[in-house]
Amino acid sequence: MDDQLRRRSVGAPAARSLLLTILGEFVLPREDAVWQETLVGALVSLGYSPQAARQALARSVRGGWLSSSRVGRRARVSLTARAEELLAAGASRIYSFGSPSRWDGRWLVLILRVPEERRAVRHQLRTQLAWAGLGSLGGGVWLTPHVERETELLEVVTEAPAALATSFVASLGALGQVEDVVAAAWDLDEVRAQYDAFVEDFSGVRPSTASAAFRLQTSLVHAWRKFPFLDPDLPGELLPADWPRRRAHELFSARHARWAPAARAWFEELEAGRSSRTAAAA
């Protein structure tokens, strides 16, 4: 998945980052262009100034996410083919992430070798492998219980100059314990803290209006977007019994389904021009 999408998924909620969430949640399913004022109004409703919203749109056009066309004195914006591809891939990962899965006991092990003088390449590869959920045992040894991700990792490594890698599919032998492997490869404390914060933020809120549903739905999806990149998605057999991912996933799924109709209806009203005053006043 594109590094830019990863960074904006886990970064601070700047206007352009939240715009990406709006595009994936409300524009991508429409398969049609929207008025520029719709996206400006949506960002204004989330607390940004009209100037900041327009700047985010302009940067997104320059960055190749959006294309713009004039209709009289107004502008219609649509997703570029590249943006559609990235957002569709991101949506698939976001909405499937967190579902319970079973593990067959196999590990995908990657032995990575990068010449010492190519430190920038080594750093980039380490970042990409961590984004993909791999844990490091040191000495260029990376692993994941998701054997099915070998093709994805092959693309990452072959695109890196001067990088050499060997992959194995293996199971743990007589030496060592699974718990020790997990503890050595991943630091899960920060992930737990992020899940706990997500549950605290969204478990007690209820939207009282359609515009509030839009704001909460956008915030919910934006907050959940980071977990496929922060959480290595280890199967339950490798996690503590009290691991908070299932509770957070159930909360996300329930809130998303409950708020979606009102949130999407409000976005369509904004597109039709009936919610412009609401957006400006929010």
pLDDT of 13 above 50: yes
Longest Cα–Cα distance in the chain? 73
Q: Note the pLDDT tens digit of each residue in 58-75.
A: 999 999 999 999 998 899
Least confident window among 7-16, 104-113, 141-150 = 7-16
Q: Note the pLDDT tens digit of each residue in 114-164.
A: 877 777 877 888 888 887 889 999 988 999 999 988 888 887 878 777 778
pLDDT of 109 above 70: yes
Strand locations in the chain (E)? 34-35, 66-71, 74-79, 107-113, 135-138, 141-144, 164-170
> How large a percentage of the chain has pLDDT more than 90?
60
pTM, full prediction: 0.82
pLDDT of residue 102: 84
pLDDT of 237 above 80: yes
Tokens of 77: 């914006």
pLDDT of 183 above 70: yes
* Distance from the Cα of residue 207 to its chain's centroid: 24
pLDDT of 277 above 70: no
pLDDT of 174 above 70: yes
pLDDT of residue 8: 46
Q: Note the pLDDT tens digit of each residue in 24-33.
A: 999 999 988 9
| 41 CB-near residues (< 8 Å, 6+ apart) | 270, 275, 276, 279, 280
Q: Note the pLDDT tens digit of each residue in 82-102.
A: 999 989 988 888 888 887 778
pLDDT of residue 274: 64
Alpha-carbon distances, residue 275 vs 28, 76, 184, 260, 280 (angstroms): 20, 18, 52, 17, 9
Interval 175-194 mean pLDDT: 92
pLDDT of 200 above 50: yes
Q: How far apart are CA 5 and CA 33, in angstroms?
A: 21
pLDDT of residue 127: 83
